[in-house]
Chain A
């Protein structure tokens, strides 16, 4: 017993001493193994963390655990859009049926209806807003009101409009120098210029008081269209049962404003989206500078940051336009004091002084901007309480629009900065249906039919409610006809256009919300661990009920996002595979050479009574020992790297792409026992695999070799 242990000990002794004896070889093999273990640890750790980030982002924001959509759709469901825009999906005609059937499948906790699309939002421009305020004053005056407060407001608003027009005139006069005034649009351009010149003339403003309404209308009709600032932007929204959505996705929270009241129409705009697209560009860039400085970057060394500072200089005009003379004076005064500027310096120069920032004065200037300018401008082009008009750009040439109230901003906890989760807005399902209704060809045909007077027959077929909110067609109906049951509400009330505000105050019942079209539905499970099984159950239930649904797991449903993780995993696996194949080859060669050098010694061992098995183990132990020893070392180094990276705040997501990938501002790699075990098992397996051939070779060495005489 003891002797057997001794024999094993001598095996180890020989193995280790051989390793120690040929240091160069051991260093080469060990180095490869160490690097391999390090790569496995770092790779799996980073990938695991990215996958976890994705999981949190996707499951917590839109994905849920499973997704269902109409299996007849030409495109697969892609929750975050595809590379060529939004996927084309056939609708789920009656969501309530889906909810009823799938809600009964074991392990399914919730079924949430969804309709995801990108739409255009009119954000209005500065001149529009200034004119709107001026019109308010004018109305009051024309109705006979008067007083110093009204007079002061009127004068301020009037000079604000004049200021904007003047600036616009200056801008366009520069543009005229390079514009083509002979081509196709020459006549139109000349006419525009004439209008603008008139609006900028003293004569026009001198006569404004005598001619208030006509002057306003002239500005509204002829000049407003010449401004070029952001008149609209694109908004990605999910139309859903808002209450169910918040229950299903507990990470969702209203960051500002309030929840859409139950059953009401309304929208919660994605906070991250608002930051990126709706905020005044200069403010956004200051935020980005601030954030990057927070990560230890310096303006003096960072080209991006320097670019932002430069861009802020050219963004000054956007802010100037927003300030009416009263506010402009306030701002100038406060800036002059805050910046210690000479008394005579004008606002534009003061702003240039403010935005021309460097590492030493950034914090002070950042604070000054938010104290002085931000409260006096419209910081976001959409604000809580606004009624915004959303237009769906149709693929078939039709546009539809709805006006919804912005109740608040939406964010998802933990992944607030994630472009995946934070980019989407949540809208009520009714508004989605209105927008979506026009988008299908069948719908277009139906409207045409309605316009020709056949509409009455259509509506009479069902009761009003199901006609309004879409009901399942009769079983004999063709799919095309079934789709045509969605009806534009405004068309149902002949002669009367529905007032958006009135529509906004309507309260819909849960039944109204659920009976009707959705594009897909998110399924939340009680036990996500049983995802595969439940997925099969859901598919079966759908097939049995002839719902024609296709079921996807969250990863697949997330489209390019999920595929990205799969792709990363493939790339990592492939890279590691190539590395380890090379490792096997190199270690193999090194060990074969070592074996050939030891032919005589091995022959001697065989001659004096060592069995083949002994020789095999002797060689295998040697590579295994290297594998384990340097594998541990590599895993240790990997652990140290991971720990250091975490300690330093993770790998910062310096670009939008990384932010998207990491699902947050930084990737905090995690190191589990799994990563270490995986790396150790991998490198030991690779070592044994590389040592196997030389060991088998050694095993075949005959004792006769011991007798061979040396030269």
Chain B
């Protein structure tokens, strides 16, 4: 069953008094365990689509189902809960909390969930920091790290709640291509290891090539879906 199901979705923005259509009649199913890339030029609607899937925005028309739930029917509060428990986010500009240490940034979603004990959190956070290769920087502040290191922290933060779905909006855009590649590798490794579904947007063909499938968007419309290689088997 699809973890994400987008059905005939349109999204309009208001720019002053003019209506700007960002998405027009997009339909898309994403299966569990996919490592899906959304490709398209700037302003094509990539971020809008991710926002709708990530429950941070709602569609003007059509339905978005995440984990089988119709996001249009959920309250703001429930949507926030859904994001907290089901979705992980990786941002183009990392978006770490500057006043918290690396460890605390990663721990933050667990504290919001309020379920794990201190010990469990310690184990889980450190496990992830080791996995993304920055265990030794646990006490550093984000400002003391390089861009690549920061994005690794962000990846760890996105995965710490063991979400079914991770959304990444241009995760490599602020990194040089080499570092960008290692981040994509890292994401793919996590995709393979846990079967977590990844959806990321990019306009970099090299990054795209790592995906199991590529969705191409232009002018707010889905123009193509290309099946590539190596999706995680079976999902979770």
Contacts and interface: CB of A to CB of B under 8 A. Distances in A.
A3 B116 contact: yes
Interface stretch (B107-115, B126-134, B207-215, B222-230): B107-115
B57 interface: yes
B98 A21 contact: yes
Contact of B157 (A606, A608, A710): A608
B83 interface: yes
Contacts of B57: 702, 704
Given A14-B97, A607-B54, A707-B169, A7 B47 contact: no
A707 B51 contact: yes
Contacts of B81: 609
A13 interface: yes
A10 interface: yes
Interface residues of B, number: 40
A479 B99 CA distance: 84
Contacts of B158: 608
Contacts of A4: 114
A600 B94 CA distance: 11
A347 to B, nearest CB: 86
Interface string B66-82: 00000000001100110
B95 interface: yes
Contacts of B77: 611
A707 B47 contact: yes
Contact of B80 (A3, A10, A20, A606): A606
B111 A607 contact: no
B99 A14 contact: yes
A18 B116 CA distance: 26
Interface in B85-100: 85, 88-89, 91-93, 95, 97-100
B104 A607 contact: no
B9 to A, nearest CB: 16
Contact of A13 (B47, B85, B100, B109): B100
A17 B99 contact: yes
Interface string B156-173: 011001000000011001
Contacts of B114: 3-4, 6-7
Nearest to A600: B95
Contacts of B145: none
B123 to A, nearest CB: 15
Contacts of A3: 111, 113-117
Interface centre among B91, B98, B113 (most CB of A within 10 A): B91
A388 B83 CA distance: 97
B118 interface: yes
Contacts of A474: none
A610 B97 contact: no
Chain A's interface: helix, strand, loop or mixed, by majority?
A: helix
Contacts of B108: 10, 605, 608
A608 B161 CA distance: 10
B83 A703 contact: yes
A609 B157 CA distance: 12
Given A606-B80, A609-B84, A601 B98 contact: yes
A21 to B, nearest CB: 5
B140 to A, nearest CB: 14
A249 interface: no
B92 A608 contact: no
Interface string A589-611: 00000000000110011111111
B56 interface: yes
Interface in A1-46: 2-4, 6-7, 10, 13-14, 17-18, 20-21
Contacts of B91: 604, 706-707
Interface residues of A, number: 31
Nearest to B79: A703
Given A14-B99, A710-B93, A609 B56 contact: no
Contacts of A21: 98-99
A308 interface: no
Nearest to B81: A609
Contacts of A600: 93, 95
A562 to B, nearest CB: 54
A7 B56 contact: no
B170 A709 contact: yes
A704 B52 CA distance: 10
A709 B93 contact: yes
Contacts of B104: 10, 13
Nearest to A10: B111
A605 to B, nearest CB: 7
A595 to B, nearest CB: 15
A614 interface: yes
A6 B109 contact: no
Interface centre among B51, B81, B95, B104 (most CB of A within 10 A): B95
Contacts of B118: 2, 6
B87 to A, nearest CB: 8
Interface in A565-610: 600-601, 604-610
B98 A607 contact: no
B84 to A, nearest CB: 3
A608 B98 contact: no
A608 B99 contact: no
A604 B95 contact: yes
A2 B111 CA distance: 10
A19 to B, nearest CB: 9
Contact of A601 (B56, B95, B117): B95
Nearest to B42: A709
B112 A609 contact: yes
B99 A609 contact: no
A2 B77 CA distance: 23
Given A17-B100, A709-B170, A704 B56 contact: yes
Contacts of A609: 80-81, 83-85, 109, 112-113, 161
B89 A706 contact: yes
A396 to B, nearest CB: 82
A658 B117 CA distance: 65
Interface centre among A3, A17, A18, A609 (most CB of B within 10 A): A609
Contact of B112 (A18, A601, A608): A608
Interface centre among A18, A611, A704, A709 (most CB of B within 10 A): A709
Contacts of B50: 707
A239 to B, nearest CB: 76
Interface centre among B112, B113, B116 (most CB of A within 10 A): B112
10 contacts: A3-B114, A13-B100, A600-B95, A607-B83, A608-B88, A609-B112, A609-B113, A702-B57, A707-B47, A707-B50
Given A4-B114, A707-B47, A709-B173, 15 more contacts: A2-B117, A3-B117, A6-B114, A7-B112, A10-B104, A13-B104, A18-B99, A600-B93, A604-B89, A607-B54, A609-B81, A610-B84, A704-B56, A707-B169, A709-B170
Interface of A: 2-4, 6-7, 10, 13-14, 17-18, 20-21, 600-601, 604-612, 614, 702-704, 706-707, 709-710
The 7 closest A-B pairs by CB, nearest first: A609-B84, A17-B99, A703-B56, A604-B95, A3-B114, A7-B111, A10-B111
